[in-house]
Amino acid sequence: MANHSRHTLHHLRQLINRDPDRFSTNVYSRMFAIDPDLRDLFPAVMAGQRDAFFRVIDHILDVIPAETGHTELVEFLAQLGRDHRKFGVRPEHYEVIYRALIDEFAYLLGDHWDTEAEETVAQAMMLTTGVMRGAAETAPMPALWTARVVEKFRITRDLAVVRLVTTAPLRFAAGQYLEVHVPQRPRLWRNLSPSIPPNPAGELEFHVRAIPGGAMSGAIVAETRPDDVWTFSQMHGTLRVDPSRPVLMIAGGTGLAPLRALLIDMARRADSPPTHLFYGMRYPGELYDLSVLRRLAATNPWLTVTAVSEETADPWWITSPNTPEALGIEHLVGTLADVVPLAGDWTERQVLIAGSAGMIETTRRRLLIAGVPGRLIQHDPVH
Ligand code: HEM
């Protein structure tokens, strides 16, 4: 890339960083001025949206003039374009945002907006919108599919199991997560991991914990009813088991779901490697799935399950008969990050971790310190 072009993109980046919110607001205003109907695609409050939009444009202006990172940028934009289908964005909308971006950049550069600058910026934005649009148009699967809730029950005050059936072919692998939309929260999409592998009957199961302040999880636990129709978009996630190496699985809370789906999938195979699952919660009585895991371990000799809780005993408000002791399952006390590295030699194992961002990070760090090679540790992106 010519020096002049590089300089133009650096300069623009500095300009938009002076007032990111103003930049995004202006681009959206220009877009809605060209086509007012587009406003309906967005939620009423757009602050978070503006922030996300700014960060992507800032990233693009940073990477295009750089020596490396172009392949990753193109893949990132392609994924963003495929994701945009579920927001109702159509190919022709990219021409509108292209126009809005170019107009805003011309305004920002002022006297510096000459033919060369225009060409540089046009190329960068053509790449951005072209890749997003192209990926959305060529993506092979339908953008959206639906499933109907057939059953929901609460396991604890804040934890629910939801079962659904769909007639659409299930396009995900055990261990992956799906983008989900529920009728109680229009326009909101969240990632949820099915807790069973895909099956020919089209059954889906999710374990959802209401997180304080979590708009979707709270609505599911409190309001989901049979016959609700949930919409699904794409699947993501790369957790998988290599049958040639023993496995260590570490599940924090409802992070159990993808690992449970993998275990059920492994139970159908003849070549499953020795697997040790550590399943942790704060209180022993919150380990809601222990009885299912015990059944799974009883019929699959390659599987060992250890329960982990931060507290030794339950508080008075938890009354679960399924404590580790009652089920005859080994029970260790502490956090997963403290307990698991000391519970065995894991240096030869492939390790799969699922849970909260904090839990994943600390556990991964402790395992690295305990000598587990980083390349053997898998977890999904930490949000
Ligand atoms: C340069 C092209 C674009 C970029 C860089 C971009 C960037 C983004 C980003 C980063 C998000 C948040 C994604 C997430 O939370 O998963 C988003 C969401 C969204 N974008 Fe875009 N976008 C572009 C073009 C468009 C166009 C052309 C439209 C339609 C007119 C559009 C409509 C939306 C909508 C409706 C949402 C979801 C808002 C919500 O419900 O929270 N975007 N966009």
Regarding the beta carbon of 52 and ligand 1, being less than 6 Å apart is answered yes
Regarding the beta carbon of 215 and ligand 1, being less than 6 Å apart is answered no
Q: Which atom of ligand 1 is nearest to the CA of 77?
A: 5
Q: Classify residue 85: in a domain, yes or no.
A: yes
**Looking at the structure, do residues 46 and 110 belong to the same domain, yes or no?**
yes
Name the domain boundary from 236, 269, 288.
236
Name the helix (H) or strand (E) containing 62.
helix 47-63
3-state secondary structure of 209: strand
**Looking at the structure, do residues 158 and 192 belong to the same domain, yes or no?**
yes
Residues in contact with 198: Cβ distance below 8 Å, sequence separation at least 6, in sequence order: 170, 171, 172, 173, 174
Q: What is the pLDDT of residue 135?
A: 95
**Looking at the structure, do residues 8 and 134 belong to the same domain, yes or no?**
yes
Q: Which atom of ligand 1 is nearest to the CA of 96?
A: 27
Q: What residue spans of 113-226 are helical by DSSP H?
A: 115-138, 215-223
Q: How many domains does the chain have?
A: 3
Name the domain boundary from 183, 205, 236.
236
Q: Which atom of ligand 1 is nearest to the CA of 60?
A: 5
Q: What is the CATH number of the domain that holds 291?
A: 3.40.50.80
Give nearest CA residue, ligand 1 atom 14.
Answer: 52
**Looking at the structure, do residues 292 and 339 belong to the same domain, yes or no?**
yes
Q: What is the pLDDT of residue 253?
A: 92
Q: Which atom of ligand 1 is nearest to the CA of 94?
A: 27
**Looking at the structure, do residues 7 and 126 belong to the same domain, yes or no?**
yes
Q: Classify residue 241: in a domain, yes or no.
A: no
Q: What is the pLDDT of residue 86?
A: 86
**377-379 β-sheet, strand order:** 330-333, 303-309, 275-281, 247-252, 350-354, 377-379
- pLDDT tens for the chain, residues 1 to 383: 788 899 999 999 999 999 999 999 999 999 999 999 999 999 888 888 899 999 999 999 999 999 999 999 999 999 999 989 988 899 999 999 999 999 999 999 999 999 999 999 999 999 999 999 999 999 876 678 999 999 999 988 889 999 999 988 888 999 999 999 999 988 788 999 999 999 999 999 999 999 887 889 999 999 999 999 999 988 889 899 999 999 999 999 999 999 999 999 999 998 899 999 999 999 999 998 999 999 999 999 999 999 999 999 998 888 888 889 999 999 999 999 999 999 999 999 999 999 999 999 999 999 999 999 999 999 987 54
Q: Which residues pair with 180 in a beta bridge?
A: 190, 232
Regarding the beta carbon of 94 and ligand 1, being less than 6 Å apart is answered yes
**Looking at the structure, do residues 14 and 96 belong to the same domain, yes or no?**
yes
Regarding the beta carbon of 239 and ligand 1, being less than 6 Å apart is answered no
Q: What is the pLDDT of residue 1?
A: 76
Give nearest CA residue, ligand 1 atom 28.
Answer: 89
Regarding the beta carbon of 56 and ligand 1, being less than 6 Å apart is answered yes
Give nearest CA residue, ligand 1 atom 1.
Answer: 129
Cα gap 253→251, rounded to integer Å: 6
| CA-based nearest residue to 264, from 302, 296, 236 | 296
Compute the distance from residue 88 Cα to the ligand 1 centre, in Å. 10
Name the domain boundary from 110, 138, 166.
138
**Looking at the structure, do residues 375 and 293 belong to the same domain, yes or no?**
yes
Q: What is the pLDDT of residue 141?
A: 66
Compute the distance from residue 84 Cα to the ligand 1 centre, in Å. 6
Host domain of residue 204: 145-236
Which residue in the block uniquely carries the two structure tokens 């008969």? Answer: 321
Give nearest CA residue, ligand 1 atom 31.
Answer: 89
Q: What is the CATH number of the domain that holds 220?
A: 2.40.30.10
Regarding the beta carbon of 42 and ligand 1, being less than 6 Å apart is answered yes
Q: Classify residue 109: in a domain, yes or no.
A: yes
Compute the distance from residue 230 Cα to the ligand 1 centre, in Å. 21
Q: What is the pLDDT of residue 256?
A: 96
Q: Classify residue 242: in a domain, yes or no.
A: no
Regarding the beta carbon of 61 and ligand 1, being less than 6 Å apart is answered no
